[in-house]
C-alpha cells in the first residue's frame, strides 16, 4: 500500500508540474515533455527525436558505467534540443571533474549536494533525472524526496492508525474496512 500511495502522490505531483498554468499557479517548476519522456523511457526517449543513434554516442570516462554516461548524453541532448540549458555541458564537466564519480557511486546520492554549480541550476525534477541516470536502484528514494519537497511530507508518510477514532467516525450503517 505504501508503494502505491507514493506512486499515486508522484503522479499527481508530475501531472501538476507538466501543465504550465497549474505549475505557475502553485509556484512550482514546469516539467517539460522531454523531461517527462526521459523519466518514463530513459535511452528510448531519444528514438525519433535525436538524429544521432544512441549506440554511436562517444564513450565516457572509464570511471563511469557506460550505460549511465549514455543516459546523461541523451538527457543533455534532449534538453538542448528543447531549449532547456540546465544540463548543457554536463557530460563534458563529468569527464573533467572527478567529484562526479564520487557523487554517482554514493549510496546517499539523493541527499548529497551536486558537484560544482549544478545544484542551483537544476529543478527538483531534473535532479531526479540525474538519480535515474546514475542509480536507478535509488530512484524510489529520490521520488519520495521529490514528492515531499513539492507537495509536502504528509504525502509521503501514512497517518497513524487510530482505532478509537475510526470507531467514532463509524455508524451502524457505515462499515469499517481495514486494508
DSSP state of 149: H
Write down the pTM of the prediction.
Answer: 0.84
∠ at Cα 131 (34, 82), nearest 5°?
Answer: 20
pLDDT at 127: 94
Q: Who's near 114: CB < 8 A, 6+ residues apart?
A: 103, 122, 127, 130
Cβ 110 vs Cβ 141: under 8 Å: yes
The average pLDDT across 18-32 equals 93
**Worst-scoring range by mean pLDDT, 23-27, 32-36, 117-121, 169-173?**
169-173
- Nearest Cα neighbor of 32 from 91, 81, 90 is 81
State how far the Cα of 22 lies from the Cα of 81, in Å rounded to an integer: 24
pLDDT at 165: 82
Amino acid at each position: 500500500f505504501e508503494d502505491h500511495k507514493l506512486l499515486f502522490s508522484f503522479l499527481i505531483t508530475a501531472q501538476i508540474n507538466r501543465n504550465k498554468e497549474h505549475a505557475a499557479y502553485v509556484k512550482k517548476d514546469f516539467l517539460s515533455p522531454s523531461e517527462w519522456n526521459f523519466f518514463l523511457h530513459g535511452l528510448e526517449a531519444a528514438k525519433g527525436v535525436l538524429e544521432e543513434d544512441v549506440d554511436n554516442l562517444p564513450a565516457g570516462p572509464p570511471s563511469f558505467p557506460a550505460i549511465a554516461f549514455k543516459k546523461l548524453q541523451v538527457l543533455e541532448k534532449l534538453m538542448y534540443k528543447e531549449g532547456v540549458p540546465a544540463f548543457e555541458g554536463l557530460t563534458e564537466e563529468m569527464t573533467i571533474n572527478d567529484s562526479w564519480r564520487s557523487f554517482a557511486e554514493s549510496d546517499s546520492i539523493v541527499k548529497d549536494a551536486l558537484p560544482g554549480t549544478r545544484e542551483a541550476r537544476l529543478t527538483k525534477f531534473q535532479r531526479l533525472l540525474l538519480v535515474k541516470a546514475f542509480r536507478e536502484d535509488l530512484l524510489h528514494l529520490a521520488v519520495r524526496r521529490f514528492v515531499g519537497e513539492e507537495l509536502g511530507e504528509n504525502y509521503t508518510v501514512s497517518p497513524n492508525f487510530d482505532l478509537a477514532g475510526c470507531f467514532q467516525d463509524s455508524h451502524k450503517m457505515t462499515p469499517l474496512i481495514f486494508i
